[in-house]
Amino acid sequence: MKKNILIYIMLTLFIMSCKSEKKEENKFAKLKSTKSINRVIEVKSAKVERKDFNMELLTNGKASVAKSAVLKFALKGEIDRVYVKNGDRVKKGDLLAKINTDDLSQEFERASLDLKDKYLALGNEIISRGYKLKDSASIPKKLFDIMKLKSGYSKAFLAYNNAKTNLKKSKIIAPFDGVVSDIKAKPYNNSSEYSEFCVLLDDKSIEISFNILETEILKVKINDNIEAFPFANKNAKFLGKITEINPRVDDKGMVRIKAKIDNCDGKIIDGMNMNVLVRRLLKDKMVVPKSAIIKRQNSDILFVVSNGEAIWKYVKVGEENSDEVVINEGVNIGDEVIISNNIALAHQTKIKVIE
């Protein structure tokens, strides 16, 4: 019985040994297969160059007109006419709206007649004091002021000017060239019902406001060139320059920047959202294509071509744009770096450079 048990144990061990050897053979076969698959990898390459570099900083901003005015009715009264609508372009001095002037016109006429009457009274006062009307300029100022007060001319003159001013205030006149927006007032309503008539926008010059991180503040300066692209039309491009850098970091770690762009064709409207690209030319930088840089172990690396192999290099990168990146340390001018098929490469992987 014991002999049979011993034979059974030996057979079991033998079978397990055979299976283990078979697994090892399969594992070796797979490794061999993998090596046969990992043959020479074809890549493209580019030279490390020293040249002028166009630094780019991409962010979002909002457009606003450089100049605007809230126009209001200066007097209370029934609105007689509104001559414009939202979106109309107007010139400086154009009449935009007016209130009913029937009462104001009558007041002005009364003031005009009273002024003429008091002017005659002033003439009588001048003559009664032994002066001639044509010699009024030679009358001492203090005495002449007394004559005007006594005749009622001074008071009539103030009333006339007040009536004339009220007639002028009955109209809303465009203070500059621009486009009309936010009209609220309607004819036949009292002007006192509206806090404002409209907002006049000078949209020929547009201001773009945008934020950058405080760590990026040294990358921009006054007069740096920008390109602005409306969210509504990414194919439209507007050029401008940075005009203002706020010397303060907000509680979110951002710095406010302003730039001005021309808007001669009026395609940008107040409040429009924009993509902003800041451009600045940096002299004499070591540059590689952006596709050469990959992330490994939280570090920036690239692969240099050396004797048919891909050599792993740690690098320190600087400024970048949409196509290229500045290298501050890690490679030399003239090194040949891999710019395609580099994601799966390892150190000393066999490679073949193709055009």
Using alpha carbons, list the distances in angstroms from residue 194 to 180, 183, 189. 16, 10, 9
End-to-end CA distance of the chain: 77
Taking the CB of residue 74, how many other CB atoms lie within 10 A of it? 14
Q: Does the structure show a pLDDT above 50 at 29?
A: no
Q: Does the structure show a pLDDT above 80 at 123?
A: yes
Q: Which of helix, strand or coil describes residue 223?
A: coil
pLDDT of residue 338: 95
Mean pLDDT of the chain: 86
Domain ranges of the chain: 41-53+285-353, 58-65+205-283, 73-99+170-196, 101-169
For range 90-105, the mean pLDDT: 92
pLDDT digits (tens, 9 = 90+) for 225-264: 999 999 988 888 999 999 999 999 999 999 999 999 988 7
pLDDT of residue 61: 95
pLDDT digits (tens, 9 = 90+) for 328-350: 999 999 999 999 999 989 999 99
Chain centroid, CA 70 distance in Å: 23
CA distance 335 to 249: 41
Q: Does the structure show a pLDDT above 50 at 326?
A: yes
Residue found by looking up tokens 């297969």 in the block = 33
Q: How do 41-43 and 178-181 pair as beta strands?
A: unpaired
- Considering the domain delimited by 41-53+285-353, tell me its CATH architecture: Beta Barrel (2.40)
Lowest mean pLDDT among 29-38, 82-91, 243-252, 286-295: 29-38
pLDDT of residue 37: 45
Q: In the structure, what pLDDT confidence band is assigned to residue 28 with cuts at 50, 70 and 90?
A: very low
List CB contacts of 57: < 8 A, sequence separation 6 or more: 212, 216, 219, 220, 277, 278
Rounded to two decimals, the pTM is 0.61
For range 165-187, the mean pLDDT: 92
Q: Does the structure show a pLDDT above 90 at 22?
A: no
Burial of 315 (0-12, 13-18, 19+ CB in 10 A): buried
Q: Does the structure show a pLDDT above 70 at 8?
A: no
For range 293-309, the mean pLDDT: 93
Q: Does the structure show a pLDDT above 80 at 5?
A: no
Helices (H), the chain: 2-37, 102-128, 141-151, 153-169
For range 146-161, the mean pLDDT: 91
Specify whether the CB–CB gap between 348 and 311 falls below 8 A.
yes
Phi/psi for 176 (5° steps) reads -160, 170
List CB contacts of 329: < 8 A, sequence separation 6 or more: 315, 316
Specify whether the CB–CB gap between 19 and 308 falls below 8 A.
no
Spell out the CATH class of 73-99+170-196.
Answer: mainly beta
Using alpha carbons, list the distances in angstroms from residue 251 to 210, 219, 248, 255. 16, 20, 10, 10
Phi/psi zone of residue 9: left (φ > 0), alpha (ψ -120 to 50 degrees), beta? alpha
Token code pair at residue 267? 């395609």
Q: Is the dihedral of CA 62, 260, 198, 85 positive or negative?
A: negative
Specify whether the CB–CB gap between 207 and 66 falls below 8 A.
yes
For range 76-105, the mean pLDDT: 93
Out of 2.40.37.10, 2.40.30.170, 3.40.50.280, 2.60.15.10, select the CATH number for domain 58-65+205-283.
Answer: 2.40.30.170
Q: Does the structure show a pLDDT above 80 at 15?
A: no
Q: In the structure, what pLDDT confidence band is assigned to residue 9 with cuts at 50, 70 and 90?
A: low
Burial of 21 (0-12, 13-18, 19+ CB in 10 A): exposed
Residue found by looking up tokens 């205030």 in the block = 169
Radius of gyration, CA atoms only, the chain: 42
Looking at the chain, the whole-number percentage of residues with pLDDT higher than 70 is 89
pLDDT of residue 23: 45
Q: In the structure, what pLDDT confidence band is assigned to residue 13 with cuts at 50, 70 and 90?
A: low
Token code pair at residue 219? 């990358």
pLDDT of residue 103: 87
CA distance 77 to 237: 47
Q: How do 79-82 and 45-47 pair as beta strands?
A: unpaired
Q: Which of helix, strand or coil describes residue 302?
A: strand
Specify whether the CB–CB gap between 113 and 91 falls below 8 A.
no
Same fold, 41-53+285-353 and 73-99+170-196: no
